[in-house]
Chain A
């Protein structure tokens, strides 16, 4: 932290060390840098034999520095170096028109639209189910155990059949993928909203009863506001699951576009850098979507007058 060029007074260095931003971000930055360093070392080690084999086939003499440089720029490395991934990512995002089939933007929008449609469907279905469960004891007793059971089943395994069945009915393209996303992401929303709708304590419900509020009024004025924090907590979980669902739904069906299709094509043709770039795109999509939900949550909280 202190080098000879900048002599920082001891007290200032101490103050810097205890600055809240430093305390918060120094560990993260250190670990990220360490991970990148490990990544580079691993890239060198894993690609070494590949590159050495290449040199020996051509029977050219090589130096160690050339060897290491070769591991950083191999065309189909076992593990591409981080800068190669970023270069490929930047190239496929900005290098082509957004509608070209080689553009990651194009593939990302295909996956994103399936994700968002599935997310909206799943959220509506999940909230509706929670409403029914909260208002009916029969449904709570008979349906809730099955909903919970359905989550112990690896539902993603259903994805290919869904696609085949829906394709046979004549549904193709966006909707089958969205249905899988919706199917995956309704569960956390239902569970969260059941918890949220039942969050008001008996005193508050009694108060509503003394005002002779109808069930609809209780819902609008008490249950719904009480459930909002639960709603956003489960929406954050649901939107990542929805993205996973959309990507996986593209895998077994030979979809032509989308991040999943990109992963599959990369694995067929051994284009490792392309796979990593697609993974990077999905990571950015995931964090962007969570950030969006987070922003909405803050906006709604401010509207409702909740102090953070």
Chain B
């Protein structure tokens, strides 16, 4: 029934005014008229049928209906002063897309691959709808780009300033984050191994590590900038400090995860300390270590960006964000955020992939 409402909404756009200014109506634009009529027909058809065919028809209708507002927005008489007809169209498309997502999510496919594809498709569709609404709302209401740029503007800015973004990426991510991440996680792991060997140290370090990992450690950024200068070493130092304690706490918990039976077995093999460490304790600790690596992946990026607020050479993601925000070039800020988001997700994804490859034996991956 929702699809019938959507079809009615699309049709009502033909009669309601598109803009508060005088512009040509939909019926005067043959291609757009065909698109809207097609959308209305497809919605009606999908209301008629049911099941998976309704989803396909509805999806085609959404595509037809969604194209029209985007084309309409190129008309200077509509962008910024859109009126009831325009919004009826957008709402109808939104409704249709929402129904498609709902129908799609309630499907229960048989095959393993189909289920995985569905689990990927539903959030992607949802995200696409959100981005589309953002674009149409910002441009339809004519929100000043200083407040909130449309995603397309940010994307254009992203593509057109790739060299600057590449520079910032190398400065912040390759130099600051990666080096600090390796140092911090490596040191945390080493200290955890030593602390596990000497239980007195372990009993002292665990509560302290818990305490420190709850502190707002990014606050040391100004001190690190004072000690190590404006360039990347100070950022790497902040990242190392921020990532050290989560790794210490998790690795300590992981190193004591192996059971008595396994330890006894190693002893009956006559394994010495190093053999036990390499063959039993470290592999058993891997899930915990990867947990820390994943937590640290986000912490590291945050630490580096925040440290850049306290002083940088004239490049870096944090530097660019704060200066461009000061100059009200918000589209550039969003481009930098997109860069940081992509870098952060790729980093996290790589760690997760490495986890799958090395801890394939863990119960959480065996289905």
Q: Is the CB of B305 within 8 A of A31?
A: no
Interface flags, B325-367, vs A, CB<8A=1, else 0: 1001010011011001100110110000000000000000000
Q: Which residues of B contact A216 (CB under 8 A)?
A: none
Q: Is the CB of B330 within 8 A of A141?
A: no
Q: Which residues of B contact A240 (CB under 8 A)?
A: 214-216
Q: Is the CB of B321 within 8 A of A161?
A: yes
Identify the closest chain A residue to B207 (Cβ): A28
Flag whether B274 is at the interface (Cβ < 8 A): no
Contact of B214 among A151, A161, A278, A286 (CB under 8 A): A286
On whether A282 and B215 interact (CB within 8 A), knowing A32-B208, A168-B146, the answer reads yes
Q: Which residues of B contact A168 (CB under 8 A)?
A: 146-147
Flag whether A5 is at the interface (Cβ < 8 A): no
Contact of B226 among A78, A165, A244, A279 (CB under 8 A): A78
Q: Shortest distance in angstroms between A151's beta carbon and chain B's nearest beta carbon?
A: 6
Identify the closest chain A residue to B328 (Cβ): A164
Q: Is the CB of A142 within 8 A of B101?
A: yes
Identify the closest chain B residue to A163 (Cβ): B325
CA distance A144 to B122 in the complex (A): 11
Q: Is the CB of B302 within 8 A of A243?
A: no
CA distance A267 to B223 in the complex (A): 7
CA distance A249 to B38 in the complex (A): 49
Q: Is the CB of A154 within 8 A of B344?
A: yes
Q: Which residues of B contact A290 (CB under 8 A)?
A: 214
On whether A154 and B340 interact (CB within 8 A), knowing A141-B122, A267-B311, the answer reads yes
CA distance A290 to B211 in the complex (A): 10
Q: Is the CB of B302 within 8 A of A154?
A: yes
CA distance A263 to B221 in the complex (A): 9
Interface flags, A230-253, vs B, CB<8A=1, else 0: 000000000010011001100110
Q: Which residues of A contact B341 (CB under 8 A)?
A: 152-154
Contact of A248 among B119, B218, B220, B301 (CB under 8 A): B218
Flag whether B219 is at the interface (Cβ < 8 A): yes
Chain A residues 259 to 281 lying within 8 A of chain B, measured CB to CB, are: 259-260, 263-264, 266-267, 270, 272, 275-276, 278-279
Interface flags, B126-162, vs A, CB<8A=1, else 0: 1100000000000000000011100000000000000
Chain A residues 26 to 79 lying within 8 A of chain B, measured CB to CB, are: 26-32, 78
Q: Is the CB of A142 within 8 A of B298?
A: no
A interface residue count range (under 10 / 10 to 19 / 20 to 34 / 35 or more) = 35 or more
Interface residues on chain B, number (Cβ under 8 Å) = 60
On whether A152 and B340 interact (CB within 8 A), knowing A278-B219, A287-B214, the answer reads no
Q: Which residues of B contact A9 (CB under 8 A)?
A: none
CA distance A287 to B208 in the complex (A): 12
Chain A residues 123 to 160 lying within 8 A of chain B, measured CB to CB, are: 137-138, 141-146, 149, 151-158, 160
Q: Shortest distance in angstroms between A207's beta carbon and chain B's nearest beta carbon?
A: 26
Q: Is the CB of B211 within 8 A of A287?
A: yes
Contact of A138 among B105, B211, B330 (CB under 8 A): B105
Q: Which residues of A contact B214 (CB under 8 A)?
A: 240, 286-287, 290
Q: Which residues of A contact B201 (CB under 8 A)?
A: 27, 31
Q: Which residues of B contact A156 (CB under 8 A)?
A: 302, 305-306
On whether A264 and B222 interact (CB within 8 A), knowing A28-B208, A149-B345, the answer reads yes
Chain B residues 2 to 23 lying within 8 A of chain A, measured CB to CB, are: none
Q: Which residues of A contact B205 (CB under 8 A)?
A: 27, 31
Flag whether A169 is at the interface (Cβ < 8 A): yes
Q: Is the CB of A141 within 8 A of B208?
A: no
Q: Is the CB of B122 within 8 A of A152?
A: no
Q: Shortest distance in angstroms between A111's beta carbon and chain B's nearest beta carbon?
A: 10
Q: Which residues of A contact B310 (CB under 8 A)?
A: 251, 264, 267
CA distance A5 to B316 in the complex (A): 61
Q: Is the CB of A142 within 8 A of B311?
A: no
Q: Which residues of A contact B328 (CB under 8 A)?
A: 164
Flag whether B267 is at the interface (Cβ < 8 A): no
Flag whether A220 is at the interface (Cβ < 8 A): no
CA distance A27 to B337 in the complex (A): 44
Q: Shortest distance in angstroms between A237's beta carbon and chain B's nearest beta carbon?
A: 8
Interface flags, A174-194, vs B, CB<8A=1, else 0: 000000000000000000000
Q: Which residues of B contact A27 (CB under 8 A)?
A: 200-205
Flag whether B164 is at the interface (Cβ < 8 A): no
Interface centre among A141, A267, A275, A283 (most CB of B within 10 A): A141
Q: Which residues of A contact B226 (CB under 8 A)?
A: 78, 267, 270, 272
Q: Which residues of A contact B106 (CB under 8 A)?
A: 137-138
On whether A142 and B122 interact (CB within 8 A), knowing A32-B208, A247-B219, the answer reads yes
Interface centre among A142, A157, A259, A264 (most CB of B within 10 A): A157
Q: Is the CB of B325 within 8 A of A153?
A: no
Give chain B's interface residues, CB within 8 Å of chain A.
101-102, 105-106, 119, 122-123, 125-127, 146-148, 200-205, 207-208, 211, 214-216, 218-223, 225-227, 297-298, 301-302, 305-306, 309-311, 317-318, 321-322, 325, 328, 330, 333-334, 336-337, 340-341, 344-345, 347-348
Q: What are some 9 contacts across the A-B interface (CB < 8 A)?
A: A27-B202, A142-B101, A152-B347, A156-B302, A161-B334, A243-B216, A247-B218, A260-B219, A290-B214
In addition to A149-B345, A252-B322, 4 A-B residue pairs with Cβ atoms within 8 Å of each other are: A142-B105, A156-B302, A157-B301, A243-B216
